[in-house]
Structure 1
């Protein structure tokens, strides 16, 4: 199974694709969709176009998106929510089921602690995916989201087998 992880952002949207084969996880690709457009509408369009190209190129079977972290800046949170809408829309348009995870859940799945630092997450992504060449911190976060989703799917399959 190919899993696409997406780290939403208005300027940089990180993405990462992994392959899950039983308990084995391997790296396929990662990158950042960038937009420097002046208007919000043009920026969202750039992000959608770029993410749709990633989906077309890598044909994921599943996708996962990080939930929006709500902070003190309501306007910033709302804008990030719009980028997150693009991150949900692009895979949904391709018929791909999308999982959603809180930032703390992703960190806990990768590092074992829900309040881990970005450097700790990046370090663990490198351990899980040896030899990975990260396109940047946003791509590392996206791979962490994909790994979190893969582990969630693996545990769901194990629960089904135990019950059956």
Structure 2
């Protein structure tokens, strides 16, 4: 039985830069479609959130993903940073919800373990593995690589036929 191809939008949320990447799941290997970074450093406060939301809506409308895979927020030492990141992540989740795109969440450790083989891998290792797994001619930018890694992580979990409710609860496999 041929499995239907799915477009997976991976997102690495950020309050200054949000990475995104889209892969199409394949029978054997996922195919790279696009990746990039939403840069909002020049904006402040609510303008940043507005720009992130509008950009994410444009990406969703243009590429019509079947699912969004996004990194969960981990606890920061600085509460202000956690709140700012949470706000950016909130508008990203809202954009997906407004477009009826299902959302799957993965911890950074889950993503790195799936892509690199160790949960505390360096960003350079993630970039290297994403480049190799997707057969890219150039190494993706850090935030885009993290987003693509999130999409690849979801593709891997789905290819194993793992139950989505277990994944969203962070069950170890």
TM-score, scaled relative to structure 1: 0.91
Aligned residue number for residue 27 of structure 1: 32
**Distance in 2 between the 1:157 and 1:43 partners?**
36
Q: Are residues 36 and 115 of structure 1, via their aligned partners in 2, closer, same or farther at CA, if it must alter by over 3 Å?
A: closer
Shift of the 94–133 alpha-carbon distance from structure 1 to 2, 3 Å rule, reads: farther
Aligned partner of 2:126 among 114, 121, 134 = 121
Distance 1:53 1:59 in 2: 10
Q: Which structure's residues are more often helix, by fraction?
A: 1
TM-score (norm 2): 0.86
Q: Which of 57, 66, 72 lines up with 1:67 in the alignment?
A: 72
1:103-114 equivalences under 5 Å are 103-114=108-119
Cα RMSD after superposing both structures: 1.5
Deviation for aligned residue 1:69: 1.8
Q: Which runs of 5+ in 1 are unaligned?
A: 159-164
Structure holding more strand per residue: 1
Q: Which residue of 2 aligns with 1:161?
A: none
- The number of equivalent residue pairs is 158
Residue 4 of structure 1 corresponds to: 9
Distance 1:8 1:124 in 2: 20
2:85 pairs with 1:80? yes
Listed as ranges, the gaps of 5+ residues in structure 2 are 1-5, 164-173
Residue 156 of structure 1: how far off its partner (Å): 2.1
142-151 vs 30-39, greater mean Cα deviation: 30-39
In structure 1, distance between residues paired with 2:162 and 2:118: 24
Which of 99, 116, 141 is equivalent to 2:104? 99
